[in-house]
């Protein structure tokens, strides 16, 4: 298994991987068939992000096939360009082999290399697996987004998580844990 930065030529494989992920799980934002970019648009955006560091995408590959992906969208303004919003997915057949953690570490390395300071992501409160992974990777709860997504027509809350990757650059040393949303409860709810 190899973790590597995606290149424009991966566009078609990435679209297919994401489509499989959207069909396999309702833990991601999009539903199957909801992707809007075609291969050329995807290739253009991957190339652009590689050139201007406005975002990142790393893929996990085994035997020439993509098995997982992490991508990050960076803030566009001067005041939030230090932040990266992450999305991660691994095909179900490859779960529990450390791919998710390796992808997260790759995203963190990319962020460090490019001088970013803050990693951010959201996770549905029922997603215990992803919550465990993020906790292991050092993410902390910032708050609870109420009814931030609808899953099969039912409202669902998400945790907002972050990790500061160079704490010497300011900000709170630890993220305050809002009442009733401590990390002990992270991902422990089923809805
Ligand atoms: C979340 C996801 C990326 C994890 O990928 P992965 O390759 O299985 O991750 P890893 O193997 O690195 O680590 C998984 C960890 O979850 C833990 N875990 C597995 N099942 C669990 C469960 N039911 N409850 C709590 N933790 C669980 C494992 O123990 C493992 O930790 P360990 O290495 O300490 O044992 C993957 O499951 C996935 O793509 N899920 C669907 C999409 C998704 O939820 N994306 C995140 C949206 S925010």
Ligand 1 atom with the shortest distance to the CA of 101: 12
Residue given tokens 């708050």 in the structure block: 143
Taking Cα atoms as reference points, which of 52, 54, 40, 42 lies closest to residue 6?
42
Contact 33, 89 (CB under 8 A): no
Q: What are phi and psi of 190, to 5 degrees?
A: -115, 125
Contact 134, 82 (CB under 8 A): no
Residues 66 and 180: their CA atoms lie apart, in Å, by 39
Pocket test for ligand 1, best of 69, 71, 91, 96 (most atoms within 8 A of CB): 96
**Architecture of the domain spanning 2-182:** 3-Layer(aba) Sandwich (3.40)
Per-residue pLDDT of 5-20, as tens digits, reads: 999 999 999 999 999 9
> Which residues surround ligand 1 with Cβ inside 6 Å?
25, 27-28, 88-90, 95-101, 121, 123, 127-130, 132-133, 136
Per-residue pLDDT of 92-116, as tens digits, reads: 999 999 999 999 999 999 999 999 9
Order of strands, edge to edge, in the sheet holding 55-62? 2-5, 55-62, 65-74, 83-90, 118-124, 154-164, 140-151
Per the DSSP assignment, residues forming a β-bridge with 154 are 151
Determine the straight-line distance between the first and last CA of the chain, rounded to whole angstroms.
34
Ligand 1 atom with the shortest distance to the CA of 104: 12
**Mean pLDDT over all residues of the chain?**
91
What is the residue extent of each domain of the chain? 2-182
Does residue 154 sit in helix, strand or coil? strand
C-alpha torsion angle, residues 58, 133, 31, 12 (rounded to 10): 20
The whole-number pLDDT of residue 186 equals: 61
Distance 130 CA to ligand 1 centre (A): 5
Distance 99 CA to ligand 1 centre (A): 9
Residue, of 127 and 166, whose pLDDT is higher = 127
pTM of the model as a whole: 0.90
């Amino acid at each position: 298994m190899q973790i590597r930065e995606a290149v424009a030529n991966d566009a078609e494989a990435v679209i297919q991987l994401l489509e499989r992920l959207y069909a396999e799980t309702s833990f991601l934002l999009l539903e199957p068939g909801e992707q809007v970019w075609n291969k050329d648009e995807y290739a253009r955006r991957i190339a652009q992000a590689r050139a201007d560091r406005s975002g990142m995408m790393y893929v996990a590959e085994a035997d020439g096939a993509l098995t997982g992906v992490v991508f990050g969208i960076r803030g566009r303004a001067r005041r939030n360009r230090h932040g990266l919003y992450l999305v991660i997915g691994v095909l179900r057949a490859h779960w529990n082999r450390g791919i998710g953690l390796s992808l997260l570490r790759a995203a963190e390395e990319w962020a460090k290399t490019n001088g970013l300071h803050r990693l951010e992501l959201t996770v549905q409160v029922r997603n215990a697996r992803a919550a465990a992974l993020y906790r292991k990777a050092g993410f902390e709860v910032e708050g609870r987004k109420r009814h931030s997504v609808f899953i099969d027509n039912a409202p669902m809350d998400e945790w907002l998580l972050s990790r500061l990757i160079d704490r010497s650059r300011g900000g709170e040393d630890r993220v305050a844990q809002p009442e009733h949303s401590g990390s002990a409860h992270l991902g422990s709810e089923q809805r």
